[in-house]
Structure 1
């Protein structure tokens, strides 16, 4: 699956691309990519700020032992996105943790092949 590039992808470290643009191994990776591009488009952050936050997240993961084989790139992308939305006051770490826990619980309770449905989280 590929997407048409929006912001300057050359500013991003190690983004998996082919001739058509970014390449995603899983649907959630494309969703995380689109969310970052959308939040940038809405003015939450400028692209150089995003690139620096992502670079810092990748450096942190490498320092913690990530072998940087390419299969964890969008995990770093997601962590960088979480870091920015917390820093910008959009949400807080506790809300992200609660949503993550709710997602995992819903996924475990959902039969294979069925859509995962989250309950209200308020």
Structure 2
């Protein structure tokens, strides 16, 4: 008996690694009790509607950018990730990325992440 192989590889579930990472982080935080799914759904729905993304979603960057915004909002509300701290860290990573030669690992300097 020979196995039938698919004619092509299946489509990836996530278009980019960061989509999978923010999704997994959200699930993990929910499982740890940081927020309930009803809370998540309510906040995510508001973010999607505010950005006009509540129709014709394709699971792309706009969808996961809204996902990340929702997660940041929830974590800021409970004090786990205050917005100013998130913005500072985002800026630190952006500077590190822009200053890192192509192909090298991006790292934050010790003074940046304290």
**TM-score normalised to structure 1 length:** 0.73
Query: C-alpha distance in 1, partners of 2:55/2:94?
Result: 26
Question: How many residues get paired?
Answer: 100
Query: C-alpha distance in 2, partners of 1:104/1:68?
Result: 31
Q: 2:93 aligns with which of 89, 103, 109?
A: 103
> Which runs of 5 or more structure 1 residues have no equivalent in the other structure?
1-19
1:82 equivalent in alignment to 2:72: yes
Q: Supply the RMSD in Å over aligned alpha carbons.
A: 2.3
> Which runs of 5 or more structure 2 residues have no equivalent in the other structure?
1-9
Runs of 4+ in 1 over 6 A off after TM superposition: none
**TM-score normalised to structure 2 length:** 0.78
In terms of Rg, which structure is larger? 2
- SS of the aligned residue for 2:109 comes to coil
**Cα deviations across residues 33-75 of structure 1 (Å, max 9, x unaligned)?**
1110111011000111111111111111118xx9865331100
